[in-house]
């Protein structure tokens, strides 16, 4: 379950402003991928392009043998049914209660009888932990609950691909951890392909199977979580470790003088790679890999202390794994 999405040579401009050029990547079926990047690098534009809301200037988006960028509106409408999208603010209708908000796509896009709509809506409400809140208006609940309601709505048509734009925006760290856990549990349950756009480094370090980084109008890197977390590539290293030393400046790329001033500066060592967040009931996920597997298969020595159980308390450490694997590279 879940479908693969392959992007080839995707380029997008708004007028003369280039957003990104030549983006190529594959979102593996059923896996969770995260897209990172400084503000304004076009992460939201990327999500909207994937779902066909924006047209790229060049390139292809392959899903189930069809290139989305060449489809007519009618065919695109059909392919769009594969997607569920959770927009940044939940995009709920303020005058509708949560039940009606969540039921909206079912009533719009299907001819299901109300009894069936009710069953599906209540099932999704339970899935996101909002039982009892279905009669409330969006303005009467917290930001975290609104995100959950938006997620339930994104799920009612049983998507194969779930696109999630900054789920942590406006949430405190504890609520962010809860919603991250929900994504992991949900991924295990529905096996859809997830793409999450986030600024939250802890989310990026502990939730996904794959990480991508958009920077300076291109895709700097995309690959398995362990590949990016062990990478010495300056942009990737700077971004994933939230450092000021590196090529990324306050508003754009640093210039030659700024970079020269940093030459010889010693960077702190790469932090250990934490265990990936596990499901809360211990059930395995389709995209789950053994901790350290990518590093071993690729002859990469992970930072000392990686995948160690002594990182209990580090957000994202699996609660379900029970016994942690032997630390690698310690």
Ligand X SMILES: Nc1ncnc2c1ncn2[C@@H]1O[C@H](COP(=O)(O)OP(=O)(O)OP(=O)(O)O)[C@@H](O)[C@H]1O
Residues making contact with ligand X (CB under 6 A): 14, 19, 37, 39-45
Query: What are the tokens at 157?
Result: 């048509």
Cα–Cα distance, 188 to 185 (Å, whole number): 5
Burial label for 315, CB within 10 Å (0-12, 13-18, 19+), is: middle
Distance of closest approach, residue 88 Cβ to ligand X, in angstroms: 7
**Residue (118 or 199) nearer to ligand X, CB:** 199
Distance of closest approach, residue 247 Cβ to ligand X, in angstroms: 17
Distance of closest approach, residue 1 Cβ to ligand X, in angstroms: 28
Q: Strand runs (DSSP E) across 134-276, as ranges?
A: 161-165, 193-197, 210-215, 218-224
Distance of closest approach, residue 197 Cβ to ligand X, in angstroms: 6
- Phi then psi for residue 49, to 5 deg, are -70, -40
Distance of closest approach, residue 39 Cβ to ligand X, in angstroms: 3
Cα–Cα distance, 105 to 110 (Å, whole number): 8
Distance of closest approach, residue 55 Cβ to ligand X, in angstroms: 11
**Which H/E stretch holds residue 102?**
helix 98-109
Distance of closest approach, residue 269 Cβ to ligand X, in angstroms: 28
**Residue (20 or 183) nearer to ligand X, CB:** 20
Spell out the residues 6+ positions from residue 192 whose beta carbon is closer than 8 angstroms to its own.
1, 2, 30, 84, 159, 160, 161, 162
Query: Does the CA dihedral 119-190-210-319 come out positive or negative?
Result: positive
**Residue (45 or 220) nearer to ligand X, CB:** 45
Strand partners, 253: 248
Burial 252-264 (b: 16+ CB within 10 A, else e): eebeeeeeeeeee
Q: Beta strand 32-36 with 5-14: parallel, antiparallel or unpaired?
A: unpaired
Spell out the residues 6+ positions from residue 215 whose beta carbon is closer than 8 angstroms to its own.
37, 38, 41, 235, 239, 248
Distance of closest approach, residue 215 Cβ to ligand X, in angstroms: 10
**Residue (14 or 77) nearer to ligand X, CB:** 14
């Amino acid at each position: 379950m879940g479908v693969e999405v392959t992007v080839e040579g995707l380029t997008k401009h708004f007028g003369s402003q280039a957003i990104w050029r030549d983006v190529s990547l594959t979102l593996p079926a059923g896996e969770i991928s995260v897209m990172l990047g400084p503000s304004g690098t076009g992460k939201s534009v990327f999500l909207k392009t994937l779902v066909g809301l924006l047209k790229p200037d060049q390139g292809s988006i392959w899903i189930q043998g069809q290139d989305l960028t060449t489809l007519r509106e009618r065919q695109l409408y059909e392919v769009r049914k594969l997607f569920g999208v959770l927009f940044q603010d939940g995009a709920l209708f303020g005058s509708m209660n949560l039940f009606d908000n969540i039921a909206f796509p079912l009533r719009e896009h299907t001819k299901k009888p109300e009894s069936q709509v009710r069953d599906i809506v209540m099932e999704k409400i339970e899935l996101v932990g909002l039982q009892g809140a279905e009669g409330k208006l969006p303005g009467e609940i917290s930001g975290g609950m609104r995100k959950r309601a938006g997620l339930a709505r994104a799920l009612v048509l049983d998507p194969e691909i779930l696109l999630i734009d900054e789920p942590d925006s406006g949430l405190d760290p504890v609520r962010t951890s809860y919603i991250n856990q929900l994504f992991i549990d949900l991924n295990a349950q529905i096996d859809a392909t997830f793409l999450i756009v986030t600024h939250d480094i802890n989310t990026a370090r502990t939730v996904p199977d794959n990480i991508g980084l958009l920077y300076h109008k291109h895709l700097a890197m995309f690959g398995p979580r362990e590949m990016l977390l062990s990478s010495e590539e300056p942009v990737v290293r700077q971004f994933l470790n939230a450092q000021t030393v590196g090529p990324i400046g306050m508003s754009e790329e640093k210039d030659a003088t700024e970079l020269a001033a940093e030459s010889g500066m010693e960077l702190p060592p790469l932090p250990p790679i934490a265990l990936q967040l596990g499901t809360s009931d211990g059930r395995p996920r389709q995209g789950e890999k053994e901790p350290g597997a990518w590093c071993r298969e690729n002859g990469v020595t992970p930072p000392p202390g990686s995948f160690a159980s002594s990182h209990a308390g580090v957000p994202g450490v699996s609660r379900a794994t029970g016994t942690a694997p032997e630390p690698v590279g310690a």
